[in-house]
Structure 1
Amino acid sequence: MGKKRIARFLITLGVISTLLVGMTACSGSKDASTSSTDSDSSFNKTGLPIVKEPITLNVLTVRWGNMGDTFTTNTWLQNLEKDTNVKINWQVMSSNDWAEQKSIMLASGTMPDVVLGDVAFSDSDIVNNLSSFRPLDDYIEEYMPNLKAAISESPELKKLSTFPDGKMYSLPARLPSRPVTHNQPVINKAWLDKLGLKVPETIDDLYNVFKAFKDNDPNGNGKKDEIPFSGSQDISVDLLAPFGITDLNATSMMVKDGKPVYFPTSNEYKEAIKWVHKLYSEGLIDQELFTQDNTMLTAKQQNPDVALVGFTNQWTPDAVFGKWKDQYVTIPTIAGPDGKRYQVGDPNGLSYRRNELLITTSCKNPEVVARWADQFYTNEASIQNFWGAIDTVIKKNDDGTFTLMNPPAGTSADAWYWDSSLRDFGPKYVNPSFEKNIVLDPANGDGLKLEIDKLGKEYVTTPFPNVMYTSEEFQELPTLTTDIDTYVRTNRAQWITKGGIDEQWDAYVKKLNEMGLEKLVKIRTDAFDRYNSVK
C-alpha cells in the first residue's frame, strides 16, 4: 500500500472510530439503556409516546455529495421526537467517501442502531453480512400496523423486500406521485415547425424527420451542423424500444409472455440493431455517440450559438438543453415495425423501493425502532418526508388537498425538497388513492413528469423486476456479467457504427454461451421465480 493510500486509510479509520465512539457512548447512556428489552414498563406497544422515558437511537443515513443535514429541521421529524420520546442522534454521511467508510464499518462489526436510506447498503452488502441485521418479519407483524396495511394494499412492497431466505431484513417504500414511464422521446419542435413537419408517430416518420433535420438547416445558421439524434451510450438503448426491447433495470432481461428472456440474443434485438445502424451510416445519429463523455454531450445540448440536437430520450427536457429548452417538447412513444408502441417503465410505477430502513443487531431497542419506523407509513407523514413539512413546504388546504409551495428565490424546487426532507430515502407509503389529493404544478418538477407520463404510460412493458440474489449468486454474478455485458456492449457499438451483425451473429451467440450465458440466465431466472413466489 502506497503512502498516500495509507494516509487516506488512517484518516478514514479515524472518522469511523470517532463515529463508533459516539455510537458506543450513546448506547451506554442512561437514556439508551431504558429499552423494551430491559424494562417492559417503559415501552408502550400501542399509542404515543412509544416509551415513557426518553431514549436515544443512533440513526445513520447517507446523503448525496455535500447535501448535509438540513433535513433534520423538518418539523414533522422534530414533532415525532416529542410525540414518541424517541430522540435521534443523526449520523449523516456523504456519498463521496461512504464506500470506504462502509467497508471499514462492516469489517469492524460495530454498527449504529438504524441505517436509513437505500443508498447506504446494497443488496449484496446485506446478504453477505446478515449477522449484522435483524430479520424484521416478527416486528412488522407485532408492532407495525401501518406497514402491514400498506403491504395488504400493495403486495409489491413485500415481494420487493423479501430476501432469498424468505425473510425481510429491510423496510420498503412507495414514493408519492411517481410516474410509470422512464425516459420519453423529446424532439426540437421549433425545427419541426420551421420545416413544416408533423410530430413523428412511427419509426418511418422518425427516419424522415431525421433526414429533414440533417439536410435542411432547421437551426438557420447556414451550416450542416445539426445532429438529428444525440445522447449518451446508455440512451442509445432507448432507440431499440420500438422493436420491443426495453431494459428498465439494466439486466439485459425482459419479461415476455410471463417468462424472463435474455434479449441480446433475440431476433428483435438483431433487427433493432440493423435499423439503428442504418441511421448511423447515413449520419442521422451523433457520430461520437460511443466515444463522447458527459461534458462533450452537454456542450452539444447547450451550444451557445444555436440548438444542435434534434431528438433524444429524457426524463424531462427542461434541465437538459439550457437556453434552448423552450424549443423542445416531449412526444408520444414511437411505434415500431409491428405497429405497436413499447415504452420503458413499470406498470406498477417507479415508486417502489427496498432497503430504506435496517435495524442492526447492535440495536438494543428493536421494538422501539419498529414502532418509530411505523409512524412514517401514513399518507401525511410520507408526503412530509418526501417534499417537506406541512406549513413549511406543503400547504394543507381546507378541501383536504395538499399543495406544494414555491421554493425560495434562487433555489430549484428539487434542491428545496432535498434540503427540507428525507426525499427519496427512508420508509414511506402513499396510498395510490390518496395521490389525487396532491396538487402539483404541471409545468415544473414532479408535476411536469406526471404530465409527460400521460404520453407513454399505456405502452409501458412489464420489466424484469428488481430481484434479490443469494450470497452464492452474488459471488458468481460479477464474473459472469463483467465479461458478458462488456462483450454485448462492444458488439452493439461495433454493429451500430460499422454493421456486420448478420455475418457475425452466430459466432456472437456461440461466444456468449462459451462465456457462461446459460448460467447467468439461470441465476436471473431463479431469482425471478423466487420473487414471484412471495405471497
Structure 2
Amino acid sequence: MGKWLNKKSGKMLGAVVLATSLIVGLAGCGGSNNANNTAASATDNFNKEGLPIVNEPVTLKVLTMRWGNMGDTFTQNQWLKDLEKNTNVKIEWQVVSSNDWAEQKSIMLASGTLPDIILGDQTFSDSDIVNNLSYFRPLDDYIDQYMPNLKAAMAETPELKKISTFPDGKIYSLPTRLPSRPKTKNQPVINKTWLDKLGLQVPDNTDDLYSVLKAFKTQDPNGNGKADEIPYTETGLGMDFLNPFGITDINANNMMVKDGKPVYYPITDEYKEALKYANKLYAEGLLDKELFTQDASMTSAKQQNADAPIVGFTNQWTPDAVFGKWSDQYVTIPPIAGPDGKRYNPGDPNGMSFNRNELLITTSCKYPEVAARWADQFYTNEASIQNFWGAIGTVIKKNDDGTYSLMDPPAGTSADAWYWDQSLRDFGPKYVSPSFEQNIKLSEKTGDGLKLQLDKLGSDYVTTPYPNVMYTADEFKELPTLTTDIDTYVSTMRAVWVTKGGIDEGWDAYVKKLNDMGLEQLMKIRTDAYDRYMSVK
C-alpha cells in the first residue's frame, strides 16, 4: 500500500477510497511481504539483543500525522535510513495530513484495522487511546524485556514514567523528552525602542507597568504623530497578562497547583484582583479595545502593522516570532512583580520537554517484540537529536571535541522549517539526557538557542503547573459537558468584568453559578487524576 500523502500535491485520498484501503491494505499488519512475516515468526530470526533485530527482513507499517502539507521528506533522514539497514526492520511509512486526519482517524477506529505502529502525540489523543484500549498493547513487559535504552531513561528521569502511566497503572504509549527545551513558556516582551525614546526603565512591577503603558498611550513613542499606539493587545485577555498575580496556566484549562494541591483559579482571590487590575487598564485605554472581539489574524496584523510599530507590550515565546520587520525593537524582560512582591513565570521546572503518546504498538501488530526493539533505538542521545533537528552530516555537525552544532539552513528557508523537513521534530520517541545537553551548541541569536538565552530571565520564577494528567474513560465522558458550560461562563464573565467592571458586586453570584454548573464534580475529576499522576513512582 502506498503512502497516504503525496508530498508534491498534498492531496489526500477520499473517504470512500480510504475506508477501503484501510480495511484491505492494513489487514494482516506486520508487513506486506508474507515470506518476511513467516520468517520473523521463527524464534531464531529475532535477536533479543544487538543488531540486526531480525536476521531476515521484516516490514512494519508506521503511521504518523504531519501538519498541513508538510509531506514525508523526513523519511529520508540518514539516521532513519541507516536504522533500517542496521536493524533489518523495513518501514512502510504512512504519512497523513492534519487537514484530513480527523475524518480518517474516525474511519480507522471504527473499522478496528490499524497499522503496526502509531507515531507522534498528535496522531491519537488520550481519549482516542483510553476509549479504544483493546487496539493497543500494554508495553510494560516489552519495556522491561526489550527496551534497555528507555528503561534506563525512565530510571534517570522518573517524569517519563509518570507521564506515560494510564489510569489502570499500565503504559500503552511511549514518552519523549525533547532536547534543549526551556523551563519557561511565554515571557513578557516590550518595545525597548519606545522605552528608550521616552526615557523609561523596563517595568519591574505592576505599578511600573501601568505607568509605562500609560506613557505608551499618550506620548507618541512610534513618532508618527498619530495616537495609534496600542499599549497591550492579544487575542482575548491572555492568562499570561495575569502572571504577576500568581496566575499561571500552560495548558489552558484554568488549573494551577498551589501548595501541592490542584486549584481552579477562576474562583481565587488572586484571579479577582488580577481582573480588577485589568479593568483599570482597560478603562484608561491601555488594553486593546478589541481584546475580546478580534481573532488571531487581526492580532497579528497589529503586531506587524506595515507603517509603524503600534504594539507596546505582550507575552510571547520569543520576540522574533510575532513582530515581523519590527522584531528588533522588542526585547524579552524578567517577569513583572505582582502586588505581593513576587514574580511568577508560566512553564515547567522540569522543562517544557515531556509528552506521551509518541509511539503506540497496536494489537494488530504480529511482531510486537520487533516493534519494541525498533522503538528503543530512538532512545539514545544521538538518535534523539537527529530525530529532532536532522541527521549528523546533513543538519548537525559532530565536532572533534564531542560537541554537536547545527548547520545553517538553506538560503530562503527558516531554521524551524528546515528541521521539520529533515526530521520527526516534535513527534516520535526521544530521550536526551540532561547531562548530554551541555554538548549541544545552539546559536543564541535565533530559534531554540535564542529561547534558551531568554529563558534565563524567567527560569528562577517558573511555577509548578497542573500536570498533563490522564483521565479514565468515564471521566472523559463527563469532562466535555462540564468544561464546555463552565469554561464558557468563566470566559464570558472575564470579558464583562475587564470591559465593564463590577466584579465585587457580581462575585458571589458568579461562584454560586459555577457550583450549580458542576464545578465540584469537575474538581473531583481533576483532583483524582492529579492524585493518580502523583502516585506513580
TM-score (normalizing by structure 1): 0.97
2:132 matches 1:129: yes
Within the candidate set 452, 455, 459, 2:454 is matched to 452
Superposition map of 1:158-307 within 5 A: 158-233=161-236, 236-307=238-309
Q: Does the 8 A contact of 1:43 with 1:51 survive in 2?
A: yes
Compared CA separation, residues 74 and 440, structure 1 to 2 (3 A): same
What is the distance in 2 between the residues matched to 1:319 and 1:150?
A: 33
How many angstroms does 1:35 deviate by? Answer: 6.1
Within the candidate set 479, 485, 488, 2:487 is matched to 485
What is the distance in 2 between the residues matched to 1:81 and 1:402?
A: 24
What is the distance in 1 between the residues matched to 2:332 and 2:26?
A: 49
Q: Does the 8 A contact of 1:35 with 1:43 survive in 2?
A: no
How many angstroms does 1:170 deviate by? Answer: 0.2
Cα-Cα RMSD: 1.4
Compared CA separation, residues 425 and 35, structure 1 to 2 (3 A): farther
Q: In the TM superposition, what whole-angstrom CA distance separates every residue of 1:31-83 from its partner, at most 9, and x where no partner exists?
A: 441365x2111000000000000000000000000000000000000000000
Q: In the TM superposition, what whole-angstrom CA distance separates every residue of 1:19-41 from its partner, at most 9, and x where no partner exists?
A: 443333764522441365x2111
- Partner SS for 2:306: coil
In the alignment, which residue of structure 1 is the partner of 2:37?
33
Within the candidate set 424, 429, 432, 1:430 is matched to 432
Within the candidate set 59, 64, 81, 2:67 is matched to 64
What is the distance in 2 between the residues matched to 1:486 and 1:224?
A: 34
Counterpart AA for 1:388: G
What is the distance in 1 between the residues matched to 2:154 and 2:275?
A: 41
Q: Does the 8 A contact of 1:113 with 1:359 survive in 2?
A: yes
Compared CA separation, residues 119 and 32, structure 1 to 2 (3 A): farther
In the alignment, which residue of structure 1 is the partner of 2:149?
146
In the alignment, which residue of structure 1 is the partner of 2:369?
367
Within the candidate set 495, 502, 511, 1:509 is matched to 511
What is the distance in 2 between the residues matched to 1:376 and 1:386?
A: 11
Counterpart AA for 1:33: N
Counterpart AA for 1:313: N
Q: In the TM superposition, what whole-angstrom CA distance separates every residue of 1:360-412 from its partner, at most 9, and x where no partner exists?
A: 00000000000000000000000000000000000000000000000000000
Q: In the TM superposition, what whole-angstrom CA distance separates every residue of 1:240-287 from its partner, at most 9, and x where no partner exists?
A: 110001111122111111111111111111011100110101000000
Compared CA separation, residues 35 and 473, structure 1 to 2 (3 A): farther
- Partner SS for 2:262: strand
Within the candidate set 97, 117, 124, 2:120 is matched to 117
In the alignment, which residue of structure 2 is the partner of 1:408?
410
Q: Does the 8 A contact of 2:39 with 2:56 survive in 1?
A: no
2:423 matches 1:421: yes
- Partner SS for 1:448: helix
**Structure 1 residues 510-519 or 223-232, which shifts more?**
223-232
- Partner SS for 2:321: coil
How many angstroms does 1:299 deviate by? Answer: 1.5
What is the distance in 1 between the residues matched to 2:263 and 2:401?
A: 48
- Partner SS for 1:497: helix
- Partner SS for 1:121: coil
Q: Does the 8 A contact of 1:177 with 1:450 survive in 2?
A: yes
**Contiguous gaps of at least 5 residues in structure 1:** 1-8
In the alignment, which residue of structure 1 is the partner of 2:324?
322
How many angstroms does 1:295 deviate by? Answer: 1.8
In the alignment, which residue of structure 2 is the partner of 1:339?
341
What is the distance in 1 between the residues matched to 2:136 and 2:186?
A: 35
- Partner SS for 2:65: strand
In the alignment, which residue of structure 2 is the partner of 1:443?
445
**Contiguous gaps of at least 5 residues in structure 2:** 1-11
Q: Does the 8 A contact of 1:32 with 1:57 survive in 2?
A: no
TM-score (normalizing by structure 2): 0.96
Within the candidate set 58, 68, 79, 1:55 is matched to 58
What is the distance in 2 between the residues matched to 1:193 and 1:344?
A: 28
Counterpart AA for 2:258: K
Aligned residues: 526
In the alignment, which residue of structure 1 is the partner of 2:6?
none
Q: Does the 8 A contact of 1:31 with 1:54 survive in 2?
A: no
Q: Does the 8 A contact of 1:180 with 1:350 survive in 2?
A: yes
Q: Does the 8 A contact of 1:60 with 1:116 survive in 2?
A: yes
